[in-house]
Amino acid sequence: MASTFSYVAVDASGKKIKDTVDGTSSQAVAAQLRAKGLTPLSVEDGMAKGLNAEIKIPGLSDKISLKDIAVMSRQLATMINSGLSLLRALIILVDQTENKALASILGEVRNDVEVGRSLSTALAKHPKVFPPLMINMVKAGEVGGFLDDTLVALAENFEDEVKLRAKVKSAMSYPIVVLVIAIIAATAMLLFIIPVFAGMFESMGAELPLPTQIMITLSDLLKVGIIPIIVLIGIFMFWWSRHKNDRSIREKLDPLKLKAPVFGPLAKKIALARFSRNLAAMLKSGVPILQALSIVGEASGNVVVEKATLDLQDAVRKGHSITSNMAGSAVFPPMVAQMMAVGEDTGALDTMLEKVADFYDQEVEATTEQLTSLIEPLMIMFVGIVVGGMVITMYLPMFSIYDQIQ
C-alpha cells in the first residue's frame, strides 16, 4: 500500500531538496531518489512522523542527544559515500541539522576542517558532544582511508545504543510513573483528607487505635514540613544532576547497581552489550586494541566493568591475550570469554564481539519485557496497599464509635 514520504536529499551540485513523494517503503523511495540522481539524507513516512513527532521545549530541546549524533553520523557517511567532499558535506550538514546546538558546533567543526585540520582533530575540540569512541574511530578511518565506512559503523553503533536505552526507559517508565502517582495520592490524603477525619474524631471524643494515631501524626508533621521537604528534594535533585557522574559517587553506586535484586542482572547485561559493541566497532575500524580497551571500559557506563577492562588492557600490554584474565573474572561470563577466545584464534575478534553484543541486546530486550510484566501487577498492588491502608486506618475508629452508640 502506497504512502506519502517526506524526504531530504541533495543533488549533484550539493543543493538541498525537501519534498514529499509517494512510495511503498522508505527503501523504495530512497532507490527512486537515487535513480533521479539525488542523494537521500533522510526518508520518513509522513503518517509515522506525525504520530511520533517530538514536542520541542525551549531550553530543553536544544540538548544534544546520542540520537542526534547517530543521525549526524549516518547523514555524513551517506554524503561522503556519494562522492561529496568532506567540507561540502559538513556545509550541508550544518544547514539541515534541526538541533540548533549541534548545528552551531558542526559550524565550528566545518571551520576547522576548512583551515586544514582533520575531522578527528576538529571533533576532539568538543569532547562533551562527541564521545572518545567517535573521535578515535574517525581518526582511524582517516588514517586508513575508509572514513565513510567508519562513519557508517559509528552510526550503526549509536543507533543500537539508542535502541538499547529506549528499551531500558520503557521498562523503567511505568514503575516510576506509578510510584510518583502513589506518592502524590498519599501526600494529598495526608494533607487534605485525614485532617477532616481527625477533626471529626476529636469532636466525637472517640478512642483512636494506634494505626489511626500514627496516620494523624504523619499528617500533622507533613503539614508543617511539606515546604522544607520540597526545598530539600529540589536541592538534592540539583546536586544530583551536577554530581551523579563524579568518580567518587559512581565507585560507590555502580557496584550496588550490579548487585541489586531484579535490576542488577539487567544492568550487567547492558554494560556487557555496550562493551562488546563498542570494542567490535573500534577494532573493525582499525583502532589499536590497547587504545580501544582504554575507551570501551569508560563507555560501558559502569565502573566495575571499566576496572575489569583496564585489567584486560594491562594483560595485553604485558604480551598476554585479551582473554587470558577473563576466565576468573566475576564481570565477564564464561560465554563471553569463550567466544572472544575463538575470535582471537580465528582472527575474527570483531565479528565474535558483534555476536556477543547481539546476544546481550536480545537478553536485555527479553529481560525488560519480563520486568514490565512482573512489575505492573506489583506496582498496582503497591498503590492499593498504600491508598487502601490509609483509608482503612481512617475507618477503624468508626467501629468503636458505633459500639459507643450501641
Q: What is the helix (H) or strand (E) element at residue 171, kind and residue range?
A: helix 147-188
- State the pLDDT at residue 167: 78
What ranges make up the beta strands (E) of 241-307?
none
Distance between CA 48 and CA 356 in Å, rounded?
A: 32
- State the pLDDT at residue 48: 47
Q: Which three cell numbers stand for residue 101?
A: 546546538
pLDDT by residue for the chain (406 residues), tens only, comes to 567 888 877 777 667 788 888 887 777 777 788 788 777 777 777 654 443 444 444 444 468 888 899 888 888 888 888 888 888 999 888 888 888 899 999 999 999 998 889 999 999 999 889 988 888 888 888 887 788 888 888 888 888 888 888 877 877 777 788 888 888 888 888 888 888 888 888 777 767 888 888 888 889 898 888 899 999 999 999 999 888 878 888 889 989 888 888 788 888 888 888 888 888 888 888 888 888 888 888 777 788 888 888 888 888 888 888 887 776 677 888 888 888 888 888 888 888 998 998 898 888 888 887 877 777 788 888 888 888 888 888 888 877 666 665 5
Burial of 381 (0-12, 13-18, 19+ CB in 10 A): exposed
Distance between CA 63 and CA 301 in Å, rounded?
A: 20
Distance between CA 359 and CA 270 in Å, rounded?
A: 11
Q: Assign residue 118 a region: left if phi > 0, alpha if psi is -120 to 50, beta otherwise?
A: beta
- State the pLDDT at residue 213: 87
Write the DSSP symbol of residue 57.
Answer: -
> What is the per-residue burial (b if ≥16 Cβ within 10 Å, else e) of 266-276?
bbbbbbbbbbb
What residues pair up with 22 in beta bridges, in sequence order?
4
- State the pLDDT at residue 59: 46
Q: Which three cell numbers stand for residue 163?
A: 535502541
- State the pLDDT at residue 55: 43
